Amino acid sequence: MKKALFILILLSLFSEASAGNFIYPFAEVANPKCRFSSWNTLGSDCKIPLPRIEGANYTKYKDNTTLRRIYSILWWATYNYGWDVWYGSHLWIDFATSLWTPIRSIWDWEVITAWYLNWWWNTVVIKHQIPGWKFIYSNYSHMSRITTKKWAIKAGTNIWEVWATWNSYWNHLHFQIDITNQTHPYWYSTCSKWIDIMDVVNNWQCRDYLLANTIDPILFLEGNWTFESIAQVQQKQSKTTKIEQKNIKTREQIIDEEIEEFLKWHVFELKTWVTWDNLKINTTYVTKLNVYVNWRPFSWNLPWKWVEFSSTDWSVRFFPQSVIAIENWSREINITWTKSWKQTIKMMLGKRIVATADMNFFKDWDFMNPTDAVISTPWNSVTLWEEKIWWVAFKTKFWSQQVFIPYDWTYKLRASSWKVKFCNVSNRLVKQCWPLEMASELEFRYADTKDGILLFNMVALDYSPIKLSLMKIGQKNEVTWTKQQVLVSNPNNLDPSYPYFQENIDSIKKWYLRLNNWYLMQDKEILWYQLKSVVTNMLSYEYLRSGDDIVKKLRVTKKIKAWQDFTKNMDDNKKITRGELSKIIFDQFWLTLTKNADVKLNDEKWVYKDYITSLRTGYNFCWKDQFATNYFQPDKALTIWETLYFLNKMSPYVKI
């Protein structure tokens, strides 16, 4: 609805861009707020019919922001104001619109130039003959892909597309009408020798040549074939109302407004892609300037002004120092630092700071011996034997983390209570440890970290509150310590009144159950993939208890391998019954099996009767339910917590 209303308003303000048999060089242009994106990416709400300056009445439209942004510089105006007709020597009209906007011929006749020209770059010149007139030449410059050659064409033929070339860095069409048979597009090649183009135009130099060789393109197109001669056009031009500079906005003011609107839809971002932006001095880093429009990558020209880079002092070098085009969604900027310290990089678009980036620059020897660090405490409490990842990072003199900055010393992490175990996981893909890897203290150097950050898993073996400290090997004083103790609690949803509570806690302390793997309810039925892990953890605990007994460790290792081979073809999602678990433990771990020839209880008649009898008589095992010693219930599916109870009771008898 908003889109339709916008188009209706435009159509009511401006009639179609044609006058008589001549037509304007555009059928449509980009809505000024959209013109910094390429034409082929614009939606219909960003394309509008080219509005006309009816009757070449510049005074009437001089305060119209839309027109001033499309017709950025008029014929006979200056670069500084753009619409101050009678005060400059601008030979042409500059139409500002999106990259790749189609350009069309204003009338029939012959293409005499369709090629690259010095100064003008890609240019098309079309020769037209008006009845009773001499020839006139319409010129189209600063264009991109060629779609016409030197031949006869018709009015409205698309001849090229808008681009930005030579001394211009924004997308626009240079449109000029020459009335003499000079070189085309006509330029002040004689009167302007050794004079800068900006001075020629802004100081109204060569104005006699302007009037003798060109005519006002807008006045000509708006003439609607009513002029009988070029002299009449020139006479009409002389009556054009002057627009004094004090009565209009400068182009700088228009550009400032355009930048403000641009920044409503676009976001700038400068990234070094180096963690914590810790950068080595006298090293050149390729950083990326990204621009987003509505949070999608933006490509091509920025509004008129260059984005300029600056730092808090002279020690930072940029190449390029400024940019105006963002191609392929980003722009690479080479940045080199010559001084060690913290710097703030500013990006300016016109008068606006569009982004800042804080960066830290260091010398190799600055941080070889760090004396300050931080130990992360992301949780106020942990669960007994819950394995969670923590980290340690040293601090720089910039108050940032010392990442990607090597140091040359050995440090030690420890806890106030010896009932805490650590495992370094900095350089491993799977951030998980086996019990045998856990240590009471953790010594490390830079090579043992992930680019300077120590990542470690920590587990609590009892309920003592945890306080961590970091020391430098060879020194007594602590580098840092945690300011807040971490509390240790029982696993969630494990009720102390639960019949198997104590055995479950004992199993967790032995790390049979990896609490960070599953969020478990105490009565949730166990599946095969979980049983595989629990039994493997039980064997790993036996490995840990083996101490220096190499022979036993070797036997445990073989048993873990045998267990993995036994279970590899099992259905991971299958439930396990009490009878099945009993048979597995007896068969796999060589428990003594008692043959039952004298059936006394009802469940001893089943296929698992020998295992059930052995558990009762040989191992004094029974479930803690209402049936106790009277009924084993071999076909009942096991819960996770019943499994832990069973393994904890039977583990002393396991033979390895």
pLDDT, tens digit, 9 for 90 and up, residues 253-307: 998 999 998 898 888 888 887 766 778 788 888 888 888 887 788 877 788 778 8
CATH number at residue 131: 2.70.70.10
Strand order across the 352-362 sheet: 278-280, 352-362, 341-349, 307-310, 322-323
**Same domain, yes or no: 630 and 606:** yes
Per-residue pLDDT, 19? 39
Residue 603 domain-assigned?
Answer: yes
Average pLDDT over residues 8-22: 44
Strands 121-129 and 487-489: unpaired
Residue 496 domain-assigned?
Answer: no
Last residue of a domain, one of 247, 265, 291: 247
As a whole number, the mean pLDDT across the chain is 83
**Same domain, yes or no: 157 and 49:** yes
Residue 38 has pLDDT above 90, yes or no: no
Cα distance between residue 78 and residue 81, in whole Å: 6
- Tokens representing 342 are 């913290």
**Same domain, yes or no: 427 and 374:** yes
Amino acid at 639: T
Residue 103 domain-assigned?
Answer: yes
Cα distance between residue 83 and residue 56, in whole Å: 12
**Same domain, yes or no: 311 and 431:** no
**Same domain, yes or no: 61 and 80:** yes
**Same domain, yes or no: 243 and 378:** no
> CA triplet 652, 516, 637: central angle to 5 degrees?
60
Query: Shortest CA distance to 207 belongs to which of 310, 77, 358?
Result: 77
Instruction: Find which of 6-15, 368-377, 640-649 is predicted with most confidence, using mean pLDDT.
Output: 640-649
Per-residue pLDDT, 470? 94
Q: Looking at per-residue confidence, does 436 or 465 come out higher?
A: 465
Strands 352-362 and 278-280: parallel
Residue 58 domain-assigned?
Answer: yes
Going by pLDDT thresholds of 50, 70 and 90, the confidence category of residue 629 is low
Per-residue pLDDT, 151? 63
Residue 164 domain-assigned?
Answer: yes
Residue 641 has pLDDT above 60, yes or no: yes
How many Cα atoms occupy the beta-carbon half-sphere of 329 within 13 Å?
Answer: 3
**Same domain, yes or no: 381 and 518:** no
Per-residue pLDDT, 105? 85
Q: Out of 323-327, 363-367, 518-522, which region has the weakest mean confidence (pLDDT)?
A: 518-522
Residue 251 has pLDDT above 60, yes or no: yes
Residue 61 domain-assigned?
Answer: yes
Per-residue pLDDT, 51? 95
Which residues does 122 contact at the CB level (< 8 Å), separation at least 6? 115, 116, 141, 142, 143, 144, 146, 160, 163, 165
Which residues does 497 contact at the CB level (< 8 Å), separation at least 6? none
Last residue of a domain, one of 191, 216, 247: 247
Per-residue pLDDT, 5? 40
Contact 281, 361 (CB under 8 A): yes
Cα distance between residue 268 and residue 307, in whole Å: 10
Q: How far is CA 317 from the centre of its chain?
A: 25
Average pLDDT over residues 221-234: 81
Average pLDDT over residues 40-53: 93
Give the range of the structural domain holding residue 219, as residue numbers without chain letter.
2-247
Percent of the chain scoring above 70 in pLDDT = 88
User: What does the chain come to in residues?
Assistant: 656
Per-residue pLDDT, 18? 40
Last residue of a domain, one of 188, 212, 247: 247
Per-residue pLDDT, 333? 87
**Same domain, yes or no: 356 and 372:** no
Residue 494 domain-assigned?
Answer: no
Residue 226 domain-assigned?
Answer: yes
Going by pLDDT thresholds of 50, 70 and 90, the confidence category of residue 321 is confident
Sign of CA dihedral 492, 495, 501, 502: positive
- Tokens representing 373 are 């660090």
Average pLDDT over residues 53-65: 95
- Tokens representing 436 are 């045998």
Going by pLDDT thresholds of 50, 70 and 90, the confidence category of residue 153 is low
**Same domain, yes or no: 143 and 225:** yes
CATH number at residue 298: 2.60.40.10
Q: How far is CA 284 from the centre of its chain?
A: 22
**Same domain, yes or no: 259 and 161:** no
**Residue found under tokens 């060569």:** 206
**Same domain, yes or no: 107 and 198:** yes
Per-residue pLDDT, 495? 75
**Same domain, yes or no: 56 and 159:** yes
Residues 400-416 pLDDT 10s? 777 778 888 899 999 98
Q: At what angle do helices 550-567 and 528-545 cross, to 10 degrees?
A: 170
Q: How many domains does the chain have?
A: 4
How many Cα atoms occupy the beta-carbon half-sphere of 239 within 13 Å?
Answer: 8
Percent of the chain scoring above 90 in pLDDT = 33
Amino acid at 511: W
